[in-house]
């Protein structure tokens, strides 16, 4: 098994794997496919819900009294009354959001193993990774559900419970609401900072180290975490350096992705603007043709919007593909020298060479002389 790589030494082979998969033979379909896999593997799954419900209406004349504290007090009372009057809607929205989060978490867990399989094999095959690691992905999803429920419980006690107590008791609308807001949100901000740090560390360890152990070393979730604990205890400096180096690399990748996306978006903007102008005139012409024209114009406008959104999504997937490959390969090469089966895949042993057999001539035996003629 090769020697374990340091966090810095693992960067070079990760870039080499990235070059082999995406740049040596450039194929747009491969970039989009890997970007799609990486997007689902690392996506959080949170989506906003646009429901046609009534919104809290601020009292008339708010902001015109010249007294900021009184205006703030009136706004808080209005928000509190609206929340109490629409409690069922709020609970329904939270429930739907939680179900959607669980659905996307399941997809993310499955595609995390597919991304691992893609980088190890060098080719993107969603069906292969979906079938090969179904058991491990389902077990990892169960762990992730526990982690999500724990996170939601922490968020409840850090955010929802303090706000609910404040609204219920009316502390925000009595006395000095500004100081009450600072006292509540100050502690809440610090708690959320600590929560975010802990969750990021746990998620990174799970994705980068627990997933490869489950996929290649046939560990369960508990066994993988115990094995990882022993590895971190044996090399705390190496794993701390890995976390710090990955943070630095993520910052650099974020800057590069942002620049690349803006450049690509500007390139698409010129033909997109031409299509949009033609579409606007087309929609206007169709709407002037009567009822059928209005329907056709509306359909055309929706189709143009869908095409534009799809192009932006494809651009984002293509640009994020190198990041998905590199960071997966970076974690694998860092762990390759620490996991025997992973190291055997990353650095396969050369085929044995056999020396040709030495051919020795048979021993020389002098031939018998012909008999003499009488």
Structure token digits, residue 245: 């180096």
Is the predicted pLDDT of residue 352 greater than 60, yes or no? yes
Tell me the pLDDT of the chain averaged across its residues: 79
Q: CA angle, corner 122, sides to 1 and 13, nearest 5?
A: 50
Give the residue among 148, 140, 157, 47 at the shortest CA–CA distance from 97: 47
Is the predicted pLDDT of residue 173 greater than 60, yes or no? no
Q: Determine phi and psi for 125, rounding to 5 degrees.
A: -140, 100
Alpha carbon 84 to its chain centroid, in Å, reads: 36
The average pLDDT across 18-38 equals 91
Give the separation between CA 18 and CA 23, rounded to whole angstroms.
7
Indicate the range of 88-92, 240-244, 355-359 predicted with least confidence.
355-359
Any idea where the domains of the chain sit in the sequence?
11-58+65-346
**pLDDT tens digit sequence for 235-261:** 999 999 999 999 999 999 889 988 988
**pLDDT tens digit sequence for 203-218:** 999 999 999 999 998 8
**pLDDT tens digit sequence for 119-141:** 999 898 999 999 999 999 999 99
Q: Which residue has the higher pLDDT, 134 or 94?
A: 134
Residue 156 has a pLDDT of 82
């Amino acid at each position: 098994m090769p020697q374990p790589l340091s966090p810095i030494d693992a960067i070079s082979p990760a870039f080499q794997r990235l070059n082999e998969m995406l740049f040596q033979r450039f194929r747009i379909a491969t970039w989009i496919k890997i970007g799609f896999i990486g997007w689902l593997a690392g996506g959080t799954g949170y989506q906003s819900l646009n429901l046609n419900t009534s919104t809290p209406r601020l009292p008339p004349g708010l902001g015109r009294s010249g007294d900021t504290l009184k205006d703030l007090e009136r706004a808080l009372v209005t928000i509190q009354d609206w929340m109490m009057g629409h409690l069922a809607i709020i609970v329904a929205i939270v429930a739907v959001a939680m179900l959607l989060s669980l659905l996307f978490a399941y997809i993310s867990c499955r595609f995390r193993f597919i991304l691992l399989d893609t980088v190890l094999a060098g080719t993107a095959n969603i069906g292969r990774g979906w079938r090969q690691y179904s058991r491990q992905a389902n077990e990892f999803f169960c762990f992730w559900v526990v982690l999500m429920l724990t996170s939601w419980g922490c968020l409840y006690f850090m955010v929802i419970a303090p706000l609910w107590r404040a609204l219920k008791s009316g502390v925000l609308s009595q006395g000095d609401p500004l100081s009450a807001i600072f006292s509540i949100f100050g502690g809440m901000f610090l708690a959320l900072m600590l929560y975010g740090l802990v969750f990021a560390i746990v998620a990174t360890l799970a994705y980068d180290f627990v997933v490869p152990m489950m996929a290649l070393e046939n560990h369960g979730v508990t066994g993988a975490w115990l094995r990882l604990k022993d590895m971190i205890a044996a090399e705390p400096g190496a794993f701390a350096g890995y976390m710090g180096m990955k943070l630095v690399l993520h910052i650099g990748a974020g800057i590069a992705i942002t620049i690349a996306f803006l450049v690509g978006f500007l390139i698409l903007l010129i033909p997109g603007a031409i299509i949009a102008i033609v579409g606007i005139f087309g929609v206007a012409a169709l709407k002037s043709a009567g009822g059928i024209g209005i329907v056709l114009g509306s359909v055309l406008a929706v189709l143009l919007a869908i095409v534009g959104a799809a192009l932006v999504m494809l651009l984002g997937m293509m640009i994020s593909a190198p990041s998905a490959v590199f960071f997966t390969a970076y974690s694998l090469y860092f762990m390759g020298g620490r996991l025997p089966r992973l190291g055997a895949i990353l650095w396969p042993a050369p085929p044995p060479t056999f020396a040709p057999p030495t051919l020795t001539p048979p021993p020389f035996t002098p031939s018998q002389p012909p008999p003499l003629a009488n």
